[in-house]
Amino acid sequence: MRVAIIGGGPGGLYAAALLKRLDPARHVTVWERNAPDETFGFGVVLSDETLGGIEHADPVVYEALRRDFVRWDDIDIVRRGIRHRSGGHGFAALGRHRLLEILHTRCRSLGLELRFSTEAPPVDRLSQDHDLVIAADGVHSTTRETHSPVFRPQVTEHRCRYIWLAADFPFDAFRFEIAETEHGVMQLHGYPYAADSSTVIIEMREEVWRAAGYDALTPQESVERCAKVFADALGGRPLRSNKSAWTTFRTVVNDRWSHGNVVLLGDAAHTAHFSIGSGTKLAVEDALALAACLTEQPDVPSALAAYEEERKPVVASTQRAARASLEWFENLRLYLGQPPRQFAFNLLTRSRRVTHDNLRLRDARFTAAVEREFGCPPGTPPMFTPFRLRGLTLRNRVVVSPMDMYSATDGVPGDFHLVHLGARALGGAGLVMTEMACVSAEGRITPGCAGLYAGRQAEAWRRVTDFVHRQAPGAAIGVQLGHSGRKGSTKLMWEGIDEPLPSGNWPVLAPSPLPYKPGSQIPRQLSRAQLTDIREQFAAAAWRAARAGFDLLELHCAHGYLLSGFLSPLTNHRTDAYGGSLDKRLRFPLEVFDAVRAVWPAERPMTVRISATDWAEGGTTAEDAVEIARAFAAHGADAIDVSTGQVVAEERPEFGRSYQTPFADRIRQEVRVPVIAVGAISSWDDVNSLILAGRADLCALARPHLYDPHWTLHAAAEQGYEGPGAVWPAPYRAGSRRPRTGRTDAPRPRLSLSLDR
């Protein structure tokens, strides 16, 4: 097999060494445009997991790396002169020059051909002359651009400028230092990579970089200015450069990684922000996977397909974590008002890979200090601390999210709703929310949707609230009011979600006559008179909700239903006072909010659910969501329930664990209003992490509560918590411990004799 490798960085060199080691008959050539000793950056961090893979795949390389690694366990977060240290993290780093030397030596010992200071031939020519071409040519990959119609790259440029520098002394921890300057916030990321050297990355938002005048400085002047700003962290020592320049990070994603016998590897295929130290790690892991697949599969096409299938999910997960970390640093200014330890905890958990429970295992003392500062009583996880909204005090931070059940008859909730909601209230959640209760028959999504537009519906709901208050003392129950808008008159979810009814349709209404998707009913555009009628329907439903005994009311302004349809520019094309600018698009939802708030009891809280992004070009943005939340808060909303999407059928959500939380976090920090986070929050560890970091005040979970109605009580049991935040109903107390599945504490059989005397 003839193999051509474009790019002599760590990923390309390691792939070359592995391929040759696994099959000495392979002829492997590496083209590198730079000289052997030319490289960007200084230190490289590798995880224990990656090192384990290297040790297994090539012990020679591992042993050479092991001799040069600098190891440490601590992370320091320094802000306003106060340092907080967290231990137990485990890092290993070495110089990038040294890493390349080790790989050069290994490649030469295996008989590889390394062509330095040489441009690789065009990729199409290489693909004709070789059985396999590995494009490890970096973030600006010529290979990727040459065949962009096939690879379909998406390159996102981000908001911060950064420069990669070094200092001639070793930090004794991974150091994050925040500088609040007259021009804005700047941050330092530093870590040791040799006994006498540290990598130092200086980063700031573009507007701060320009305001501070870095755009007008020479490279050396920039280095000197950075050393002055972070003189305390550096102990007055200078910084040095290696042809370093200010740049912006670019996230690279490709739909495909291979084309014929050409395959992308490392930064050519994907990038992940340096704040989680993953670039070299991912490239090395790519090389391991590619070499393994070429060994295991019968031919090159099968191997490349297997390589993509194996690596894409891993890389996507890392990129999600890196994106969360990157955006945290982009929005660093939002967190400067947090208490010192909470700020440090927030930084450590920014990527969602380090969590409350994980950090507690690494450094119990640090985590306990954060909890004390937050106000957790001894032995109380953050999720079981109370939270107050107006006259309502919730016993814990867990919310059963509104979930449409499609099981009502003529809008009347029945036995199913009593059991469904009653079970979740008995299950320990602080707040149980109903599904969207529709304010009119025409405002239903499906014929099975519940309502609050008639007295008998209110009476049926009263049966549910009475049960919750009587049988699950301490649990609160809230109602969500809404109108389906253009998404109404459709089949039950399990019969065909968002599909029109085959018969018995009712006319649907919307801000503008735009169908939800092809084949959907075209809605009628609401007239002024109809707007008034609907506003009064909401107020009447709220009055019934109060009479029915609900503790909290939420106005549904999300997911493309009627009020959401006014907020999004994609669904509101009106030219009157209710369309156009965001202020005008807000007008009718705010009118409805005011009408509902006027009849809803003053001591009971009212929240608003919004879609913080439409996940579609030209739709609601995160910046719009902040202003929408600000407007509702100004009108008296006690909390904003932050969801996303479902506004237009052509949306492209970026799914992932806790993927909607950053939108809630931003609203909380900028608007200073309590927020409910929702969306793929599935573990009690996630809830603890989000609450303790100050990114959310409450967490709403849907599917976990379908899987386990007693999710909250089980979360308490699994954490060993017994207290007022999670009280087991008296009939259930015998089940407050997990049933044993088999004896695990029996004496072990003696299998050997001890001859020690």
What pLDDT, on a 0 to 100 scale, did the predictor assign at position 740?
73
Please classify residue 524 by burial: count the beta carbons closer than 10 Å to its beta carbon, then call 0-12 exposed, 13-18 middle and 19+ buried: middle
- Over residues 107-158, the pLDDT tens digits come to 999 999 999 999 999 999 999 999 999 999 999 999 999 999 999 999 999 9
Percent pLDDT > 70 in the chain is 98
- Over residues 561-606, the pLDDT tens digits come to 999 999 999 999 999 999 999 999 999 999 999 999 999 999 999 9
Least confident segment among 119-128, 492-501, 630-639, 644-653:
492-501
Mean pLDDT of 393-412: 96
Element (H, E) at 479: strand 476-482
What pLDDT, on a 0 to 100 scale, did the predictor assign at position 614?
96
Residue 312: how many other CB atoms lie within 10 Å: 17
Q: What is the pTM of this model?
A: 0.91
Phi, psi of 370 (to 5 degrees): -65, -45
- Assess whether pLDDT exceeds 80 at residue 277: no
Helix orientation angle between 364-374 and 340-348, rounded to the nearest 10 degrees: 130
What pLDDT, on a 0 to 100 scale, did the predictor assign at position 753?
56
Residue 240: how many other CB atoms lie within 10 Å: 16
Percent pLDDT > 90 in the chain is 88
Query: Any idea what the Cα angle at residue 698 is, between residues 695 and 702, rounded to 5°?
Result: 115
d(CA 241, CA 220): 8
User: Which regions of 623-716 does DSSP assign to beta strands (E)?
Assistant: 639-643, 675-678, 698-701
What pLDDT, on a 0 to 100 scale, did the predictor assign at position 752?
57
Note the helical H segments in 252-375.
279-296, 300-330, 340-348, 356-362, 364-374
- Assess whether pLDDT exceeds 70 at residue 294: yes
| Nearest Cα to Cα of residue 199 among 40, 36, 35 | 40
- Assess whether pLDDT exceeds 90 at residue 45: no
d(CA 300, CA 580): 55
d(CA 425, CA 527): 41
What pLDDT, on a 0 to 100 scale, did the predictor assign at position 48?
78
Mean pLDDT of 418-443: 97
d(CA 380, CA 357): 13
Q: Which string of DSSP letters, residue by residue, matches 240-285?
A: B-SS---EEEEEEEES-SEETTEEE-GGGT----GGG--HHHHHHH
Mean pLDDT of 176-194: 96
- Assess whether pLDDT exceeds 90 at residue 751: no
pLDDT confidence bin for 278, thresholds 50/70/90: confident
Radius of gyration of the chain (CA): 29
d(CA 252, CA 144): 10
Mean pLDDT of 707-718: 96
What are the residue numbers of the active site? 561
Phi, psi of 288 (to 5 degrees): -60, -50
Largest distance between two CA atoms of the chain:
97
Mean pLDDT of 290-310: 96
Write out the two tokens for 188: 């330092």
d(CA 212, CA 183): 6
Higher confidence at residue 308 or residue 39? 308
Computed over every residue of the chain, the mean pLDDT equals: 94
Query: Any idea what the Cα angle at residue 727 is, between residues 723 and 731, rounded to 5°?
Result: 140
Element (H, E) at 102: helix 96-109
What pLDDT, on a 0 to 100 scale, did the predictor assign at position 757?
42
What pLDDT, on a 0 to 100 scale, did the predictor assign at position 55?
86
pLDDT confidence bin for 748, thresholds 50/70/90: low
